Structures are given as C-alpha cells and as structure tokens.
Amino acid sequence: METMYLLFLVEILFLVLVGLGLWAVLRALRRRSGGSPAGWLALEAAWGVAEAPGRPIVTRGTLVVGKVLWRNCVTVGADADALHLAVKVPLLGAMGRGPVRIPWTAFRSPEPAKLQWRDATLWHLGTPEVATLTLPSEIDAALRASGHHPGGTV
C-alpha cells in the first residue's frame, strides 16, 4: 500500500516538473520573438494601439519586421491614414506583441527584396528609422486592391 502512494507521489511530481518545463519554454519563446532593436517592439513603441485591425485585408499573413519572420500569423488591415498589423500565433496568442498602426507617411525608401524566394518590398519606417518592414507581393497586391498602398493611396 505504501509503495502505491509513493508511485502516485512520483507521478504527480513528474507531471508538475513537466508542466513547469513547458511553461519556461513558452515564456522563453515569447521573450525572444521580435526582440531585435528594430523589430516589433520598436514598432509597438512608436505606433502601438490598443485594438487589432477592424476589417482585415489579409489574415494569417507572412512578413518580416526587422530580422524576425512572422509566418502565417499576422493580420493586416488598412485605412486612409495607416497600415494596421496584429500578431496572433496559434496556441500562443499575441506573444506579448500588441497591434500597431503605422501611418502611411512613415514609409520611406522602398527597396526590392525577397521573402521565401518570392518578390517583396523592404520599407524603412520612420525618420529617423524606427524599423524595417518587408511586405511580400501578395500583401502588396491586397493593399492595392483595397485602395491603399505604402507609396500612397492608389
């Protein structure tokens, strides 16, 4: 009987340790994502807002902010004044990253780029530069179709 209680205690302890390990890994992932000085945190500090894009143009979009690739987890919206971006990673939520609203006037110096072997545009944001944003051609086309574009309203 005592052996059974001891095994039960060992199982409980094992499950607690596994849970703590998983919690630590997820916390480290949240802390590391978007941590470059010209990444999402810089965007959030300059143009952070409380609400996510109201009418998204693209959901589960892929783009690069600074040096971090946000793959299939960005919601993109636009209005006459700004580009709206929000992150939502499955199971992990926003990863501690709030939505941003980048005014069209902040987009400077477009450069051709590649993102996952496809055409894209690298934009320098802000004066002085706050961050860089690489938009794939699919998001660029969706912005043009909606009547908005970083180079000015279409």
Tokens of residue 22, six digits: 């998983």
Residue % of the chain over a pLDDT of 90: 27
23-27, 38-42, 82-86, 91-95: which has the minimum mean pLDDT? 91-95
> Is 152 a domain residue?
no
CATH number at residue 76: 2.30.29
> Is 53 a domain residue?
yes
Query: What pLDDT is stored for residue 12 in this prediction?
Result: 94
How confident is the model over 37-80, as pLDDT tens digits? 668 888 888 898 888 788 888 888 899 988 888 888 899 998 88
Query: What pLDDT is stored for residue 153 in this prediction?
Result: 47
> Is 16 a domain residue?
no
> Is 134 a domain residue?
yes
> Is 116 a domain residue?
yes
Mean local confidence (pLDDT), 105-120: 90
Give the Cβ contact number of residue 127 at 10 Å. Answer: 9
Query: What pLDDT is stored for residue 101 in this prediction?
Result: 92
> Is 1 a domain residue?
no
**How many independent structural domains does the chain possess?**
1
d(CA 121, CA 58): 17
Query: What pLDDT is stored for residue 151 in this prediction?
Result: 67
Residue 49 φ then ψ, to 5°: -135, 170
> Is 106 a domain residue?
yes
- Contact assessment for residue 38 and residue 131, using Cβ atoms and an 8 Å cutoff: yes
**Domain range holding 127?**
40-146
> Is 58 a domain residue?
yes
d(CA 135, CA 69): 11
